[in-house]
Amino acid sequence: MLMPKKVKYRKMQRGRMKGKAWRGSSLAFGEYGLKALDPAWVTARQIEAGRVAIARFMKKSGKMWIRVFPDKPYTKKPAETRQGKGKGPVEGWVVVIRPGRILFELEGLPRVEAEEALRLAGSKLPIRTVFVSRHEAAA
């Protein structure tokens, strides 16, 4: 499971998800990528599910990069607990995704295979995604 080895603070405030991604919004490593169209919190489990879906489809061919890392802890209070008594314990880890962010990148596969692999990964995520290609970005 993806999670940080060490963090400065154990708990974090929720924050806001307004605006577009201005970092990590273009392909940096591979030929093809999966780009987010909606803002959301994507959990470590969802990223892992996407990674597994891509890896299983690709078998041993090609190379994959995961461009996001869940470094934000989210907390949850137990069910049927009264208000007050402090913030709940850390429940899991998320990454804040803003529209335009590249989530996964692939290389070394034919275009149709890369599209299918990224479609499978996109179906594991709670947001709408779109397939992007380095060749289309240059044109």
pTM score = 0.90
Q: Please, what are the domains in the chain?
A: 32-79+86-138 (3.90.1170.10)
Cβ atoms 67, 24 nearer than 8 A: yes
What pLDDT score was predicted for residue 2? 80
Q: What are the DSSP calls for the chain, one per residue?
A: ----S--S-S--------S---SS-S-SSSSEEEEE-S-EEEEHHHHHHHHHHHHHHHTTSSEEEE-----EEEE-PPTT--S-S-PPPEEEEEEEE-TT-EEEEEESS-HHHHHHHHHHHHTTSSS-EEEEEHHHHH-
Q: What is the mean pLDDT of the chain?
A: 92
Asked if residue 18 has pLDDT above 80, the reply is yes
Q: What distance lies between CA 70 and its chain's CA centroid?
A: 8
What does residue 19 show for φ and ψ, rounded to 5 degrees? 90, 175
Cβ atoms 107, 72 nearer than 8 A: no
Asked if residue 139 has pLDDT above 60, the reply is no
* Share of residues in the chain with pLDDT > 70 (%): 98
